[in-house]
Amino acid sequence: MKPTMEQIMKDINSLQETVKAYDAAEKQRESDEGKRILSDRLAYLTYEIRRKYKLTSGYFFVAECAAQKKYEKEYEKEEQL
């Protein structure tokens, strides 16, 4: 069974709450446990969406490369300034 749109939205909200909590708690930001929880939730949500919409590794790889380039354009220029 594939995840429903409602389940994906629930998981997006859960991830959003995790990011807020992670960002708000300075101690948690430095803890391995906080990083693990955030990584696990992000990975699971990504996997759910990929499975629901049949985004195979070919699509995902291209999207990851494009995301990295976009990230570098938007954020790494700021770091160099």
What pLDDT, in 10s, does the model give residues 29-69? Answer: 667 888 888 899 999 999 999 999 888 888 889 999 999 99
Tell me whether residue 72 is exposed, middle or buried, using C-beta atoms within 10 angstroms of its C-beta: 0 to 12, 13 to 18, 19 or more. Answer: exposed
Q: How far is CA 13 from the centre of its chain?
A: 12
Residues 45/12, Cβ–Cβ less than 8 Å: yes
Q: Indicate the pTM of the whole model.
A: 0.71
Residues 63/57, Cβ–Cβ less than 8 Å: no
Domain range summary for the chain, segments of one domain joined by + = 5-80
